[in-house]
Amino acid sequence: MKTLVTSTNWEGMPCTLRYDSGKPVAVGDVVGQLVVKGGSAPHHCGSTGYVYTDQGQRYASVINARWTEDFEPRSYVTQYRQGYRKTPRSRNYTFDDNWEFYWSANIDPTGEHGYSKSDACMICHGYARRQEQNLGDEFQWRVVPSPDHY
């Protein structure tokens, strides 16, 4: 089974690199004289992202491909997890994979029942940043897009 070329864009959205035909790009695909090795989704709103080949990094358009978001988010969610010390004298915290819900911002393009996509993302990042400053190293915070409203 082939490994698809996937990455996360600047908004935290999971993306897949797809040819202009809509077919997903896979690691090992040969396009002209280039062999696909991986890729990186756009890192800011004006970027088109990159594809990594055996001959170096190229714009995705060089292989007639583009990055597409895997789903349209309906909200952004701020999550946290609390760390624990393995011993009372330990300075570092250890974290498990259990993320807890903290806050969400629903997306509504009309603005009647939520926020624009970019506003929802920024609001959740603002909450996460504020909590990081208030609570210190014992907690980790992240913002993830969600296909559901909360």
Handedness of CA 66, 69, 71, 74 (dihedral sign): negative
Asked if residue 140 belongs to a domain, the reply is yes
> Among residues 48, 69, 90, which one ends one of the domains?
69
Q: Name the domain count of the chain.
A: 2
d(CA 52, CA 5): 10
Q: What is the DSSP track for 33-63?
A: TEEEEEEE--SSTT---EEEETTEEEEGGGG
- Are 131 and 81 contained in the same domain? yes
d(CA 98, CA 53): 36
- Are 104 and 60 contained in the same domain? no
Asked if residue 1 belongs to a domain, the reply is no
- Are 64 and 110 contained in the same domain? no
Scanning 1-150, the segments in alpha helix (DSSP H) are 117-135
Name residues of the chain where pLDDT drops below 50.
none
d(CA 138, CA 29): 44
- Are 87 and 142 contained in the same domain? yes
Asked if residue 82 belongs to a domain, the reply is yes
- Are 82 and 141 contained in the same domain? yes
- Are 12 and 64 contained in the same domain? yes
pLDDT > 70 fraction of the chain, expressed in percent and rounded: 99
Contact 55, 22 (CB under 8 A): no
pTM: 0.63
123-147 pLDDT, tens digit per residue, is 999 999 999 898 888 899 999 888 8
Domain range for 56 is 6-69
So what's the pLDDT on residue 80? Answer: 94
